[in-house]
Structure 1
Amino acid sequence: MRISIQIFSSLLLAASVAGASENSRFFKRQSNNTDYVLKKGPLDTPWTEKVGTDPWPEYPRPQMERSDWLNLNGVWQYQNVTGPALDVQERDPGAPPFGKDLGNPVLVPFCLESALSGVMGRKAIRSWYRRTFDIPTEWNPDNRVLLNFGAVDYETTVFVNGHNATKHTGGYWSFEIDITDFLYTNVTNELLVYVWDPTNLELDRIPNGKQVIDPQHIWYTPCSGIWQTVWLESAPAERITKVDLSADMDGVVNVTVHSSGNTPSLPYDFTIHALNSDATATAQGTTNEPFVFKIDGVELWSPETPNLYNVTIQMGHDTVETYLGFRTVSQGVIDGVPRPLLNGEFHFLFSTLDQGFWPDGIYSPPSLEAMKWDLELLKDTGFNMVRKHIKVEPALFYRACDEIGLMVMQDMPSMTHEFYSRDRDPDFLPASITAMDQYDIDIITQCQAQALNRDQVLLEHQAEFNRQLAILIEQHKSYPSIVSWVIYNEGWGQPRWLPVEYNLTAMVKSLDPTRLVNAVTGWHDHGAGDYHDNHHYSYPQCGTPWYSLDSSPYDPKRIGFQGEFGGLGHNISDENAWKVPRSINEVNRTYEINPTTDIWNMRAHKLFVELTEQVELYACSGAVYTQTTDVEGEVNGLVTYDRRLNRMDVEQWKSDIQGLYDAARKRVEGKEVQMGKTASAESVGSVPVISWGS
């Protein structure tokens, strides 16, 4: 969202998915300490007190599940080693504290800044984590032991028993390490993790979404350190390392099973389990090569019918469980208007802007139950999509969307936006830098010096952004619920004088030809991608012949889309407020403030009337309402930040949302669909047909 230029009157406030632990044969949990204490944060949720010291017990990777695994979540040791001058340039961990008590408990996997972590730190630039663990005696001694991290923000160095095991860069991506050669067989092992996370202080700008060291209004508390599940698992030396899986509306399955080891290709068995029956279909493929085949009589995935099929892949002594959904995403033209198609039919895409922040865990939801609560709220109200806004969620989030039938428009986390806010201005200094504490003056000096070589710096930033964008696609392209990728949001991190979106759109489509690409959501649109996406607060402006100063006229060659609108605020009480003075003082920067939920609902209804008219009269094919929940000083959510107050007149919202779908359906009734290019049969040609058996 962008900052409103209009200042309203002051608002005063007082300061069960597949793979759950019970289904895993050797699931265990190990924890090293018992002196963890939950911190008292500015606000909590109904799930905060339920977390305890055994958080997130579910198997965390639903698209490649193994049975022999060990959850390492729980209480670890922690030490902040950030110096007084915020030594953000110092990435080297220095001498690791092997065998030393770090002195402080931390609950993994929760951000260091969160109350749930037990740390609730500030400026956690350089941090050490430590724990010990034992390898289960039940595990096959001939197997390899793999250490997995769901996500660590931002740069991670891992030590096992004194050995430097790996270094990983990127705050949103999972990574795996084979630690077998570093392990002790009959004694306890030591795991040390060093994390460097400059958030928005570092001159080498990094993808970090809405995280800032100094939170203000639409920029929020950062998340440093381990914020998703850590686990061990046992697997053969020759093993499956990744499964790329897609299936279309015609029953065509496209799978690539990646394998480890020195053997370039190995045979594997692919077994798909049918819905509500004992029937299965089996095919045989070869690793590291695309394998395409067709199954007749499949039931399609859609928001109305979120049908999923379980899949077992066996390669030698390795077996993994995954799943798929049959659906095709494409673009077509109906009555002269480009439309998004799901399974060959126009679906009006209606979503909330979903930021994924939590008052108790910041980036980390307190539990799977809590995370699902948000999604089920949207589904029950009538939304058929969620726009995951410049954040990437744990894998179980996407599994939940697959299960309940919520389409996902997935953003790439943005680079720090200030560095790009003025085109080629060498004197420009980021506002967030100038607002820092006085002892950070060296950062300002370095930033000014770097501006002299800004073009080279931007090239380096762009290369890193491109690298991590590719990781986003590679790690998430097998989820049926994801229907679109978003590259840039409102120009944040976007080189505005150079239309790099054309090359990036081509790159994304080469990595994943099965989805649409929203190259630029908001403004600074050079014409790339499948959408013409406009943001306008408070009222919508979707595919219309009129436009505002910060957007461009509708492009009739692309899908008309309202990437953000709404943002209606509501005055809340102290009970539901993020009790941070600056956040409270900046509530009046919300686009519009309504004193009661009755007025708030009335205003929302007026916006729905306008949006419905734009669907009826113009080229509007989808919209994103801002937003799912309040976040810190923003008070424009469907529910408050603590998830305790639902502002919606639910029946009114259901009726208004259904009105959008009805208007969209009437626009295309009886009209021929001119199909655009899809990623199914057109690219695979003749394929073998596999029959269901039992």
Structure 2
Amino acid sequence: MRAIIKLLFSLQATLVVASTYGTEYERNKLSAKKARGENASSTPYAVKEPPLTTDWTYKLGTNPWPEYPRPQLQRSEWQNLNGLWTYQNASGLDAVNNPPFNQTLGQEVLIPSCLESGISAEGLMNFPVGIQTSNALYSWFSTSFEVPSSWSGKSVLLNFGAVDYEATVFINGQKAGFNRGGYSAFTIDATKFVKIGGHNEMLVFVHDPTDSGDYVIPIGKQTLRPSHIFYRPCSGIWQSVWIEAAPENYITQLDVSASMDGEGTPSPVQVTVHGSDSSTHEILATQASTSDGAFQFNVASPKLWSPDSPNLYNITVTLGDDQVSSYTGFRTISKGEVDGIVRPLLNGEFIFQFGTLDQGFWPDGLYTPPNKEAMVYDLQVLKKLGFNMLRKHFSYGKIKVETALFYQACDQLGLLLIQDMPALRPIQSYTLENCTSLTYLPDADQQAEFDRQLAVLVNQHKSYPSIGTWSIANFFEVIYNEGWGQVIQGYPEFGLTDMVRSLDPTRLIDSTTGWYDHGAGDYSDNHHYANPQCGTPFYSTASSPYDPTRIGFQGEFGGIGNNVSIEHLWNVQEAINTVNQTYEIDETLSAWNYRAHFLLSELRDQTELFACSGGVWTQTTDVEGEVNGLLTYDRRVLRPDVAQWQADIKALYDAAAGRHNSSMSRM
């Protein structure tokens, strides 16, 4: 078995600041704040009670997300900058030209968090539906830190997991970097901006237009006009911030592709692969090669990764004085004919993929889960019920990209992923002076920016074993969804499919899910509520007929709802008013489980009779005005009859296995 590793390294240092982790870091930060007088005038942090809480809402503390945020390229010398920062609203885009250096910002906020969430402390939870602007369109964030004196002579790298949407970073009065894209990680070389062993001031200017004005940007289901399936936005620094020390020449990117066959092209780096059992440090393989190109290493008879056996191998990569740790899983994703039907294959075998539509929203944190325990809880519930996959998210718009720790959890638990590129602005119109109504669509520059961010998403995620989308972790690549954001003329999904395939040829691509399917990609993906139409000789106007040259897939179905008492609902009247817009409301849990059993049985029948290769149930949790989750939005009520659902899901896998025989040819 062979795996491919590609390393990129920089001859320059990168990035910002620091202080020591844990207690010393908090002490240094407090001293710096006192020196600047921030405690005297900044409003102290406290969770602002959201319209609905979870069991984790008030367990955050002021040191959130202490885990190292980037597990596939991890360094030992690092400092977490999460915690209490200060915030103030900015007047407009021009405010970036007048940074509030050496000033006290008015409100303490918790980082990471969405400004609109309760856990941020700013908690702009009460802005009315239908507004055209938000207090979070333009924002300043500030923190201070000390870089350890032991980092002298090293590069200081400042890392952001994600900032929505544009971030301009200043360190000690100088502009240090800029990033556009609300779902991508970025690193700034702060070496020349920071004072080693001294006080450092960092300001971050954030511009998040969401769907204001004529902006057409990737926003998923965020809107300034929340209503039922469209939710309040997330603005600001919503993923972790940290600094780390690296030598002058350091690794900037690590791409790992570990397949069951190990196909790759050979290209001074030292790679060491450790045993899959984390309790041992047995070295299974070493390989020396050069950076900036692909090369191979061999592992004899590795244990393959799959949902049933999510075996992972630790990796250590050394480039000169730089050493990083990572991990991978050996597995191959492909497609092939099984008994005359095109199927998705994992490690050469047909695997029926069944998962949920996963929005990843939280009532207390919006985009940001309260903590890792809360985030993993959702995944553990899905595994217990028998799901082997989840989809990040597609219905009426791909919604978000998760933290690196989320993908690591899927790698560890054994959940395949369909990772969608967050969609462009939802379908909205504007009126010209002559009363002509036009739809907001991307112009050439906005489409090019979408393409760029899609490429970034693929490149940043293509090493996760669980994804089949753009990471070596996702199982599919999703380009467009249900015609939303699609410029129909010219069918751009074909070009985007080719681009994604060139960036990552190791995965399948679901180019269009539902509606306007012109034949691109590997999936013939049907959306239909509530009844499935998966690989069948029947379909409805909301989707396209099954294409037997591609994989038959039920990209979305279910969606049945069950209303609950107010203590488990998003207590915002505008959202409550839309509950009955759910595709179907079942008045009791027993009725809801009866209907679920009926729909899952239909999908099983289509698997036995036709060409169904998988499906996506809507959805993991309720969200705002939607009440069709397996879990309520607060994660306190689990609707499924666990034994019934486990039996029904197993019946799907058994039906798929019954269609399998040995006459299979790889495509």
Q: TM-score, normalised by structure 1?
A: 0.85
Distance 1:180 1:541 in 2: 56
Q: CA 1:450–1:507 in 2, change beyond 3 Å: closer, same or farther? A: farther
Q: CA deviation at 1:316?
A: 0.6
Q: Does 1:547 align with 2:516?
A: no
Q: Does 1:242 align with 2:236?
A: no
Q: Does 1:148 align with 2:151?
A: no
1:425-448 CA-to-partner distances (Å, cap 9, x unmatched) read xxxx25xxxxxxxxxxxxx77999
1:474 aligned partner: 459
Output aligned runs, 1:477-492, within 5 Å: 477-482=462-467, 483-492=475-484
Q: CA 1:504–1:92 in 2, change beyond 3 Å: closer, same or farther? A: farther
Output aligned runs, 1:151-162, within 5 Å: 151-162=162-173
Question: Amino acid of the residue matched to residue 55 of structure 1?
Answer: P
Q: Select 2:663's aligned residue among 647, 656, 672.
A: 672
Question: Amino acid of the residue matched to residue 608 of structure 1?
Answer: L
Distance 2:20 2:287 in 1: 29
With 182-191 and 159-168 compared, the bigger mean Cα shift is at 182-191
2:49 aligned partner: 40
Q: Select 1:462's aligned residue among 447, 470, 484.
A: 447
Question: Amino acid of the residue matched to residue 216 of structure 1?
Answer: S
Q: CA deviation at 1:116?
A: 0.2
Distance 1:479 1:340 in 2: 18
1:262-319 CA-to-partner distances (Å, cap 9, x unmatched) read xxxxx11000002235233100010001112332211100001000000000111100
With 374-383 and 275-284 compared, the bigger mean Cα shift is at 275-284
Q: Does 1:27 align with 2:21?
A: yes
1:110 aligned partner: 113
Q: Select 1:59's aligned residue among 55, 68, 75.
A: 68
1:414 aligned partner: 423
Q: Does 1:75 align with 2:75?
A: no
1:332 aligned partner: 336
Distance 2:139 2:662 in 1: 60
Partner-residue secondary structure (3-state), 2:120: coil
- Whether the aligned pair in 1 keeps the contact of 2:264 and 2:294 (CA below 8 Å) is no
Between the two proteins, what is the percent identity of the paired residues? 55
2:356 aligned partner: 352
Distance 2:262 2:558 in 1: 39
1:129 aligned partner: 141
Q: Does 1:217 align with 2:217?
A: no
Task: Give unmatched runs, 5+ long, in structure 2.
Answer: 1-18, 34-38, 128-133, 468-474
Distance 1:577 1:233 in 2: 41
Distance 1:169 1:450 in 2: 30
Distance 1:568 1:336 in 2: 34
Q: CA 1:624–1:322 in 2, change beyond 3 Å: closer, same or farther? A: same
Q: CA 1:317–1:672 in 2, change beyond 3 Å: closer, same or farther? A: same
Q: CA 1:556–1:270 in 2, change beyond 3 Å: closer, same or farther? A: same
1:73-93 CA-to-partner distances (Å, cap 9, x unmatched) read 0010100124xxxx5xx3652
Question: Amino acid of the residue matched to residue 135 of structure 1?
Answer: V
Distance 1:582 1:451 in 2: 26
Partner-residue secondary structure (3-state), 1:637: coil
Q: Select 2:58's aligned residue among 49, 66, 71.
A: 49
Task: Give unmatched runs, 5+ long, in structure 1.
Answer: 1-24, 257-266, 420-428, 431-443, 677-694
Q: Select 1:166's aligned residue among 157, 174, 177.
A: 177
Partner-residue secondary structure (3-state), 1:657: helix
Distance 2:436 2:45 in 1: 44
Q: CA deviation at 1:418?
A: 1.3
Q: Select 2:402's aligned residue among 393, 397, 401.
A: 393
Distance 2:254 2:243 in 1: 19
- Whether the aligned pair in 2 keeps the contact of 1:245 and 1:253 (CA below 8 Å) is no
Q: Select 2:294's aligned residue among 290, 295, 298.
A: 290
Distance 2:449 2:436 in 1: 21
Partner-residue secondary structure (3-state), 2:502: helix
Distance 1:367 1:512 in 2: 31
Q: CA deviation at 1:214?
A: 1.4
1:473-522 CA-to-partner distances (Å, cap 9, x unmatched) read 00000000011111111111111232111111111010000000000011
Q: CA 1:616–1:369 in 2, change beyond 3 Å: closer, same or farther? A: same
Q: How many residues are matched?
A: 610
- Whether the aligned pair in 2 keeps the contact of 1:245 and 1:255 (CA below 8 Å) is no
Q: Does 1:656 align with 2:648?
A: yes
With 348-357 and 27-36 compared, the bigger mean Cα shift is at 27-36
Q: CA deviation at 1:186?
A: 4.3
Distance 2:305 2:79 in 1: 33
Partner-residue secondary structure (3-state), 1:588: helix
Q: CA 1:136–1:348 in 2, change beyond 3 Å: closer, same or farther? A: same
Distance 1:255 1:93 in 2: 47
Distance 1:244 1:639 in 2: 35
Q: Does 1:493 align with 2:485?
A: yes
Partner-residue secondary structure (3-state), 1:466: helix
Q: Select 1:588's aligned residue among 580, 583, 587.
A: 580
Distance 1:221 1:273 in 2: 44
1:192 aligned partner: 203
1:209-267 CA-to-partner distances (Å, cap 9, x unmatched) read 000011100000100000000001000110000100010112557798xxxxxxxxxx1
Partner-residue secondary structure (3-state), 1:79: strand
Distance 1:113 1:447 in 2: 37
Distance 1:447 1:189 in 2: 55
1:280 aligned partner: 284
Q: CA 1:445–1:148 in 2, change beyond 3 Å: closer, same or farther? A: farther
Q: CA deviation at 1:138?
A: 3.2
Question: Amino acid of the residue matched to residue 48 of structure 1?
Answer: T
Q: CA deviation at 1:380?
A: 1.1
Q: CA 1:447–1:69 in 2, change beyond 3 Å: closer, same or farther? A: farther
Question: Amino acid of the residue matched to residue 303 of structure 1?
Answer: P
Q: CA deviation at 1:104?
A: 0.7
Partner-residue secondary structure (3-state), 1:250: coil
- Whether the aligned pair in 1 keeps the contact of 2:411 and 2:465 (CA below 8 Å) is yes
Q: CA 1:535–1:105 in 2, change beyond 3 Å: closer, same or farther? A: same
- CA RMSD, 1 decimal: 2.0
Q: CA 1:153–1:97 in 2, change beyond 3 Å: closer, same or farther? A: same
Q: CA 1:417–1:336 in 2, change beyond 3 Å: closer, same or farther? A: same
Q: CA 1:447–1:77 in 2, change beyond 3 Å: closer, same or farther? A: farther
Q: Does 1:521 align with 2:513?
A: yes
With 196-205 and 101-110 compared, the bigger mean Cα shift is at 196-205
2:13 aligned partner: none
Q: Select 1:375's aligned residue among 376, 379, 382.
A: 379
- Whether the aligned pair in 2 keeps the contact of 1:621 and 1:664 (CA below 8 Å) is yes
Distance 2:240 2:582 in 1: 35
Distance 1:313 1:298 in 2: 19
Distance 2:114 2:302 in 1: 42
1:158-201 CA-to-partner distances (Å, cap 9, x unmatched) read 00000001111000000000111111234311000000001111
Distance 1:344 1:448 in 2: 58
- Whether the aligned pair in 1 keeps the contact of 2:559 and 2:628 (CA below 8 Å) is yes
Q: Does 1:502 align with 2:494?
A: yes
Q: CA deviation at 1:671?
A: 3.5
Output aligned runs, 1:617-632, within 5 Å: 617-632=609-624
Q: CA 1:574–1:449 in 2, change beyond 3 Å: closer, same or farther? A: same
Q: CA deviation at 1:649?
A: 0.2
1:613 aligned partner: 605
1:110-154 CA-to-partner distances (Å, cap 9, x unmatched) read 000000000012511000001111012333x11011110000000
- Whether the aligned pair in 1 keeps the contact of 2:274 and 2:314 (CA below 8 Å) is yes
1:119 aligned partner: 122
